[in-house]
């Protein structure tokens, strides 16, 4: 069975606790459940992970890239958290493995502080889902599934 990786970066383990006005009240366990439901509808398994460590996320992106290259995964949904705004290493891991990836941010980062309005992940993402709350995760899985099988060199263009 084909899988989809859903990777979460720093502090997303805190979801559902503080800052409900920004991030809502759903926990990361709730997000995982929703991802499994939508992936199940699409005939996909979910590999759902969270880490506060940049290097761990790089390792997981490389693993997801190898699984995608082998045809065992359709790619990854990534909420990079704050590393999206800072990490060239995440950018390089995605680009270097040609991993089909959809970037998710729960909040609309473009309505927030200037430092959240740049992403090192976006230029190497096939698609971006921003500002829909945790509903962005199932949207991203559906979007990635819709892109699956398109040429890797042109993953983001619909013709
Ligand atoms: O909107 C998003 O999904 C973010 O990736 C969330 C990150 C933030 O640094 C990005 O700019 C946008 C923060 C992760 C969640 O942090 C929490 C902190 C306290 C309580 C709940 C979540």
Q: Using the mean position of ligand 1's atoms as its centre, give its distance from the Cα of residue 126 in Å.
A: 21
| 110-145 residue pLDDT tens | 999 999 999 999 999 999 999 999 999 999 999 999
Q: What are phi and psi of 44, to 5 degrees?
A: -115, 150
Report which of 46, 69, 59 is spatially closest to residue 90, judged by C-alpha positions.
59
34 contacts: CB under 8 Å, gap ≥ 6: 134, 137, 138
Q: Using the mean position of ligand 1's atoms as its centre, give its distance from the Cα of residue 143 in Å.
A: 22
Contact 17, 50 (CB under 8 A): no
Contact 31, 132 (CB under 8 A): no
Which ligand 1 atom sits nearest the alpha carbon of residue 82? 9
Q: Quote the pTM value.
A: 0.95
């Amino acid at each position: 069975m084909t899988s989809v990786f859903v990777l979460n970066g720093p502090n997303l383990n805190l979801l559902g606790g503080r800052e409900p006005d920004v991030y809502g009240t759903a926990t990361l366990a709730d997000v995982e459940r929703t991802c499994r439901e939508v992936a199940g509808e699409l005939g996909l398994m979910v590999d759902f992970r969270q880490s506060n460590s940049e290097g761990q996320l790089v390792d997981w992106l490389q693993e997801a890239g190898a699984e995608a290259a082998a045809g065992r995964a359709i790619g990854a949904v990534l909420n990079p958290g704050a590393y999206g705004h800072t990490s060239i290493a995440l950018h390089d891991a995605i680009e270097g493995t040609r991993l089909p990836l959809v970037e998710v941010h729960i909040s609309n980062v473009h309505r927030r502080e200037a430092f959240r309005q740049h992403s090192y992940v976006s230029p190497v993402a096939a698609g971006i889902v921003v500002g829909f709350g945790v509903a962005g995760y199932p949207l991203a899985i559906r979007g990635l599934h819709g892109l699956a099988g398109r040429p890797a060199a042109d993953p983001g263009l619909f013709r």
